[in-house]
A and B are shown apart, each in its own frame.
Chain A
Amino acid sequence: MRALTLARWLMPGLLSRYRVPTAIAIIGMAVFGTTSTLLGANASHTATDRYGLGSEALRAINVTSYGRDDDPSPVTAGALDELAALTHVESAHAWASTEIVLTVPDDAISLSLVTRISAVQPAPTRGAEPTRNGILLPESLRTEHGFDVGDTVTIEYIRSEDGNGGVGVETEIPVDGFFDDTTVGLDGPGVAYGAPDAVLTLLGASRGHSLDWMHDNFVFTMGYLVVDDLEHIQDVADVLLERGYGATALTTLTSSLPAAQQLMDAVAVVLSILLGLFLVVTAAGIASSVVSARAAEVGVLRALGWRRHEVLVCFVAQFAAFGTLIGAIGVAAVGSLLAVVSLLPPGVRVLGVALDPRLDLNGWLTLLVLTLAPVIVFVLASAIPVLRLARIAPDEVLRDIRR
Chain B
Amino acid sequence: MIDLRGVTKRYRTQGRTVVALPPTDLDAAAGEVVWIAGASGSGKSTLLGIAGLLVAPDGGEVRIGGERVEVGSRRIRIGFAPQSPHLLGELSAVRNVRLAHERTSTAKAEDALYAVGLADAMHIAARRLSGGQQQRVSLARAIVEQPSVLIADEPSSGLDDESALRVFAVIRSIADRGSAVCVASHDARVRPFCDRMIALTSARPE
Contact = CB atoms under 8 A, between A and B. Distances in A.
B99 A6 contact: yes
Contacts of A297: 86-88
B90 A398 contact: no
A13 B88 CA distance: 10
Given A303-B54, A305-B74, A398 B102 contact: no
A304 B101 contact: yes
Given A304-B80, A304-B141, A397 B86 contact: yes
Contacts of A394: 54, 72
B82 A303 contact: yes
A6 B104 CA distance: 13
Interface string A318-342: 0000000000000000000000000
Contacts, number: 55
B84 A303 contact: no
A304 B90 CA distance: 19
A304 B99 contact: yes
**Interface range for A:** 20 to 34
Give the interface SS of chain A, mostly helix, strand, loop or mixed: helix
Interface string B71-109: 010100000101111111011000100011110000000
A177 interface: no
A217 B72 CA distance: 98
A398 B46 contact: yes
A303 B90 contact: no
B185 interface: no
Contact of A296 (B46, B55, B84): B84
B52 A303 contact: yes
Nearest to B142: A304
A301 B82 contact: no
B82 A300 contact: yes
Contacts of B153: 398
B190 interface: no
Contact of A1 (B46, B82, B102): B102
A10 interface: yes
A291 B83 CA distance: 21
A11 to B, nearest CB: 10
Contacts of B80: 303-304, 397
Nearest to B50: A395
B86 A300 contact: yes
Contacts of B46: 398
Contact of B54 (A1, A6, A397, A401): A397
A2 B95 CA distance: 11
Contacts of B49: 395, 398
Contacts of A6: 88, 99
B36 to A, nearest CB: 13
A400 B158 CA distance: 15
Interface string A1-30: 110001001101100000000000000000
Identify the 7 closest CB pairs spanning chains A and B, nearest first.
A13-B90, A296-B86, A395-B54, A300-B86, A394-B54, A395-B55, A398-B45
Interface of B: 45-46, 48-49, 52, 54-55, 72, 74, 80, 82-88, 90-91, 95, 99-102, 141, 153
14 contacts: A2-B102, A6-B88, A10-B90, A10-B91, A13-B90, A296-B84, A297-B86, A304-B80, A305-B74, A305-B101, A394-B72, A398-B48, A398-B82, A400-B83
